[in-house]
Chain A
């Protein structure tokens, strides 16, 4: 069994009027089959309202499926007795850094998770110092979170999750509120975590650029997975991606247009460097 597995997962939000009568049902997630191997880095791409965040909340047992099953490290998320084990196995980093920091001091916030696990004071200290060192936040240990930049706040959120020693971290649009620099910095840090600490990463985003280096990409639209596979295979479907409201990276878009114009390039080019390489190759071949 894969580390994280969803089978025919469906979730419905039910809207009710003031008397509690059902006004409408939104199927936010609809028949999703997902399987993630331990240690991999996968991306879930989708425009706003595609159901990717709803899916993410299931992986942490914060929502329970209307239909289908979800297992994390062999545990069924609907098993109430396991929900704490699931949450310490699969940590979660959310979009808004301010809304997920509980402590008024950096150190206290990192300690929040381990304290909830009921660890001894010595063990909590060790873990807090460990994750602050790992995220490069030790210098801010005694600072107030409000003194941090957006990128630093997200690092702090990651430190808070790492202190629970998770096997997997789900990033639900964790970079959406950061400036481009902060985004790049957090993403490269998370990749490093994935490579060096072998933490499984589920990276949820609507920026296609961020999904380029993933082991696998899943694209969601109106609650369904419409495309999945290796990044270059998925990214070569430029028309489909544009149709569901995603912004295709410039290099991919450009190479797609060039191919349409008859330039012999390989499909699924993801960045400017490989586009340049491809163009040189095409030029050499034509000579």
Chain B
């Protein structure tokens, strides 16, 4: 399941999105995520979907890579939908056992599923088209203003890029440890949930010890190569905005404006208020 999550995985190819400055893509992603939460009406969602499809086409990343990210959170999506269906009060549509299901609940659940799917695909577009190093560089620069609030932006970006670098190594190590324990008769697959969690202990403990050892070694290696935090540090590829970035920002502004206008004026369009004919509150 760890392998299914596309977040944090880079797809190496060349495209309009790949060439964009990471800052542009980060701000773009944030704007896109915000627009998803602004309104709940079909026009806005159709438009957001069109924009997403356009971006996917512009990324040259096969669509199945984005879907892979969805599989990992399918469980969360289903849970969210169920909770919404059963807990949002309103006009009862039908009963499941003694639980009433409200129209409004179904409506929120449907939107939730689209919202979460767009959210995951949208943010995996960022990580699929941006190498981790550029991504953390971009995060560091985008949020550099937070340094005035004493937020250690550089350190956090460095921690992220190291975490990303060590994910494949730790996954491989987990596999090795699991196989070692399996070969000695460990059983990870049968028994109750609690038993299975307990049986993972012999994997987690060596993994943790190994991770601490790695952290120690890496800290020494970084020290030895004159790392001293962000102070006096320069970059081989400093981030620079190019023509495409300005075009992308213009597109982003247009997109946001379109979403807001659709959100405000959708009520004058057919079905603008709602799929199920229930007015948005």
Contacts and interface: CB of A to CB of B under 8 A. Distances in A.
A57 B164 CA distance: 27
Contact of B162 (A102, A107, A114): A102
Interface in B215-229: 217-218, 220-228
Contacts of B227: 112, 116
B236 A111 contact: yes
Contact of B220 (A94, A119, A164): A94
A120 to B, nearest CB: 7
B18 to A, nearest CB: 13
Interface string A98-130: 111111110110011111111111001100100
B160 to A, nearest CB: 11
Given A57-B220, A105-B133, A118-B234, A99 B214 contact: yes
Contacts of A164: 225-226
Contacts of A231: none
A100 B218 contact: yes
B226 A117 contact: yes
B221 A115 contact: no
A88 B57 CA distance: 47
B238 interface: yes
B226 A104 contact: no
B150 interface: no
B237 A121 contact: yes
A206 interface: no
A118 B161 contact: no
A62 B225 contact: no
B214 A128 contact: no
B235 to A, nearest CB: 6
B226 A124 contact: no
Given A94-B220, A100-B218, A113-B225, A146 B233 contact: no
A124 B235 CA distance: 8
A118 B237 CA distance: 13
B161 A125 contact: no
A131 interface: no
Contacts of B169: 98, 146
A104 B131 contact: yes
A92 interface: yes
A91 B217 CA distance: 15
Given A87-B224, A121-B237, A160-B225, 11 more contacts: A57-B220, A94-B217, A99-B218, A99-B221, A100-B218, A103-B133, A104-B131, A104-B165, A112-B227, A115-B235, A124-B234
Interface of B: 131-133, 161-162, 164-165, 168-169, 213-214, 217-218, 220-228, 232-238
6 contacts: A84-B228, A96-B214, A104-B165, A105-B131, A116-B225, A146-B169
Interface of A: 57, 60, 62, 84, 87-88, 91-92, 94, 96, 98-105, 107-108, 111-121, 124-125, 128, 146, 160-161, 164
